Amino acid sequence: MTRRFAPVALLMGCVLLAASFAPAAENYLKLVPDSALGILVVNDPAVLDAKLQSFGRQMQLPVPSMLAMLDRFGVRKGFDEKRAVVIIALPSENATIPLTPVILVPVADFDKLLEPFEIEKITDEPVYKVKGHNITNSHVRNIGGYAAIADADPMHREILFKKNLKISEEVPANLAQWRQWLASHDAAGVVLQPGIKLISSNVQKGLQSMRSSFGGNEQMQSMAGIFDLYGELFQAAEREVAGWGFGLKLNEQNTVTITDRLLLVPGGKWAGFVGKVRPIRMNLLADLPDGPFVAAGGGALSDAMMDAMMRFSMDFMKNMRELYGLSEEQVDKMLELSQDMMKGFRGMSMFMQVGQVDEALYSKCIFVMRVDDSQQFMSRYEEQLKRYSEFMKGLDNPMFQPIEFEKTEVGGAAALQLTMKAPQLPGNMQSPQQEQMIKFLFGPEGKLNAWIVPADKHTVVVGYVNKELLQRTIEAVKQGKPGLAGRSEVKKTAALLPSDAVAVGYLSPSGLIDFLKQVVPSFAPPGANLTFPEFPQTPPIGFAVTTAPNEVQSRMVIPGEVIQASIAGWLKFMRHQSSTQDQFAP
């Protein structure tokens, strides 16, 4: 798609806003060759246009009608506004161009679609050169009920020729498993395996280029090892990922849902990890205290997933030896101790509230761990904590401070109290900004007190700095009340998320604004005049992750109330800024 075919460009300009629900995927999939890097689909443009108009009226925004624009160009009569518009991304033979797009425009009448343009038929091919309305030499072919459009470049034009663009008898195997998923979204795209490999290759080249730019700087070269780690991750993606999709929906309440789907290669390592993840048979927000919050969420973890996460963190340390100062043997020992410490761990929930300005970030947080047996977990944790602290002492490394701990009692339960000092960066990496970040995380004294408390047979609660939030959470566990999960605005968003999620998250826009009001001034330069818009209480933005054999899906839901409040707040903020500038204008 290019500006060479203006009517189509106008239509596709609204792809990312949202569209309507389409009942089933169409035969456009039979036009997608096996070599395709990916596709982008908009279902039912007529309903899309109507929804955008309704959205604009409710949000008091001037949203022009895309179909009315097609009327002005004289092509609407030939356009089938009830069927999907599709962009196919094909490999490019030009090394400087990453891909070649072909647009499929559904036609009710091919001749009427071309009526407003000057056309010239390509000899012996059902391909037409098209120009007009400031369009220069695009090429179009009528095939399978679609006008297939390619660029004027001869190499691109030849894609439309009979020997290249054909209707297959069956949907290609790599697209068959996407058929229903594509149709269930208003607008959706899929990056297929050839596209995954192309992206991975380009990212790896970029990482190598960044690494080589460090030249002979020994310190930077040592830290640049992290690029190798990410390069290995993208190499693994080439082997493990069969495709990645993303989709959009807009409902009548102006709620926007953004979904992505990762298809994994059957029998692969990543598919094996995902196959062992199971939803926890309880509300993932259960046991979290009620009240205003910034963010909250929870999720399940298998032993394999926990092990993979720990190994990735440790590989990070190995590749950043200049920063962490650890040998490979020391990192491996740390991994062993961490694995032993977290045996019996099955999942976690967290809650973050808005606290006082001078409090450490952790003081605003609470963590609830799901374990096989809380007493066994506590006993093993204490034993491994002793070994871990002794190991830290032996490192003599300011980045890894020993953890002091003692037995105590919280709410009538035997608990552990930990004192953790902030890590100290190497002298050549210290800066005022780093010191400010340490204070932000750990508080002005650079250390944290934490309590680990078994609240019931399968629940362990972790709190920091002060016990108020900790005790509220323990009470919520013991009483079995809905807590945060019963909050009306949370329930509204939760109803829009899948019930079988293995992980969920909620972000409160009003809580986030309050949090930023406290945090940002601490990092802003002296004299900065910072203004934050007010934000009303709304349902939170919701996130969820689900798994199935060989796939992972994530979903983000933005309630219509959040969108409306955001637009109203932004317009009010801009009016205020404008009036302030007018006051000081000469």
pLDDT digit string, tens, across residues 507-552: 999 999 888 887 777 666 776 677 777 888 999 999 999 999 999 9
- For residue 328, the Cα-to-chain-centroid distance in whole angstroms is 32
Among 126-140, 156-170, 354-368, which range has the highest average pLDDT? 156-170
Q: Report yes or no on 434 lying in a domain.
A: yes
Residue numbers of the domain that contains 131: 6-182
Q: Report yes or no on 174 lying in a domain.
A: yes
Say yes or no: 157 and 289 in one domain. no
Say yes or no: 390 and 517 in one domain. yes
Q: Report yes or no on 198 lying in a domain.
A: no
At 30-59, the pLDDT tens digits run: 999 888 999 999 998 888 888 888 888 888
CA distance 297 to 78: 50
Q: Report yes or no on 213 lying in a domain.
A: no
For residues 499-508, average pLDDT: 92
CA distance 192 to 175: 8
Say yes or no: 325 and 474 in one domain. yes
- What percent of the chain is modeled with pLDDT above 70? 84
Q: Report yes or no on 549 lying in a domain.
A: yes
Q: What is the pLDDT of residue 497?
A: 93
Residues 6+ apart with CB under 8 A from 358: 443, 444
Say yes or no: 30 and 178 in one domain. yes
Say yes or no: 569 and 439 in one domain. yes
CA distance 32 to 545: 29
Q: What is the mean pLDDT of the chain?
A: 81
Q: Report yes or no on 476 lying in a domain.
A: yes
Say yes or no: 143 and 275 in one domain. no
Q: What is the pLDDT of residue 570?
A: 77
Task: Tell which of 124, 158, 182 closes a domain.
Answer: 182
For residues 450-474, average pLDDT: 89
Three-class SS of 212-275 = HCCCCCHHHHHHCHHHHHHHHHHHHHHHHEEEEEEEEEECCCCCEEEEEEEEECCCCHHHHHHH
**Phi and psi based region of residue 537 (left: phi greater than 0; alpha: psi -120 to 50; beta: remaining):** beta
Q: Which of 251-260, 322-331, 373-382 has the lowest mean pLDDT?
A: 322-331
Contact 290, 269 (CB under 8 A): no
Contact 242, 263 (CB under 8 A): yes
Say yes or no: 271 and 168 in one domain. no
Task: Tell which of 158, 182, 206 closes a domain.
Answer: 182
CA distance 47 to 28: 19
What totals of helices (H) and strands (E) does the chain contain, helices first?
20, 20
Say yes or no: 136 and 272 in one domain. no
Say yes or no: 365 and 503 in one domain. yes
Q: Report yes or no on 22 lying in a domain.
A: yes
Strand locations in 508-564 (E): 541-548, 551-558
Q: What is the pLDDT of residue 461?
A: 93
- Tally the domains of the chain: 2
Task: Tell which of 164, 182, 200 closes a domain.
Answer: 182
Say yes or no: 141 and 285 in one domain. no
CA distance 516 to 530: 11
Say yes or no: 144 and 277 in one domain. no
CA distance 249 to 178: 17
The model carries a pTM of: 0.82
